[in-house]
Amino acid sequence: MDGAALITSSTQFKCPDVPYNWNGTILTAGGVYYDTLQSVFGCDSIIQLTLSNLLVDTSVTQNGAVLTANHTGTFYQWLDCNNGFAPIPGATNKSFTATAVGSYAVIVLQSGCYDTSGCRAVTTVGLSDPSAGTEIQVFPTASNSIIHIRIANGNYNYRLQLMDMSGRMIAEELISTTKEYDFDISRFSTGSYQLLIINEKQQQTLFKVFRK
């Protein structure tokens, strides 16, 4: 390249994990690249490209079952990580409220680039009737005998599943419409458990309880 004049330099950005096509050359990483061209005067000319990876804000703020993308833009699509990252129908807003225990991520669009956040685990979701805003309470969460379950709206049938910390179900009980229920855990070994409560609408709440 001795004696060649540097006639053009440019700075470009590439989307994360997306190759960049520069004059027929596929670039997969940021950096400084050069291309040599023949000028109209018969001498070589050099084009310099400074290529950077666009930093897409895929961070998510979590408040219980409510997930909020920190990026402010025009496109959001929430995904079910436990279902092969399948798009969740209608979940296209900046914030997403999970109605089931699971793991969720979001696709955002920034400066023409799509990128996906990491998965966020939701371990507790509100059991609610949209018209009444009902809740479930479990107390005490540590006991050697009875766990009390209080249901603000007892119009549903519920299913209780007690699981060990690896997720293996060790007990299941059905609750007919009621507002108060006593769950006897004295027959189980000492240790921590997960208590999953599911109503007939398949809405779920997960509690951590401890058998003393």
Q: What is the CATH number of domain 136-211?
A: 2.60.40.1930
Question: Bridge-partner residues for 79, per DSSP?
Answer: 87, 105
What's the Cα-to-Cα distance from 96 to each of 37, 45, 79, 86, 90, rounded to whole Å?
51, 53, 10, 15, 10
Residue 193 CA to its chain's centroid (Å): 24
pTM, to two decimals: 0.49
- Read off the pLDDT of residues 190-202 as tens digits, 9 standing for 90 and up: 988 888 888 777 6
The domain limits of the chain are: 5-53, 60-122, 136-211
- Read off the pLDDT of residues 88-104 as tens digits, 9 standing for 90 and up: 888 898 988 887 778 89
- Which of 183, 156, 157 has the alpha carbon at shortest distance from 172? 183
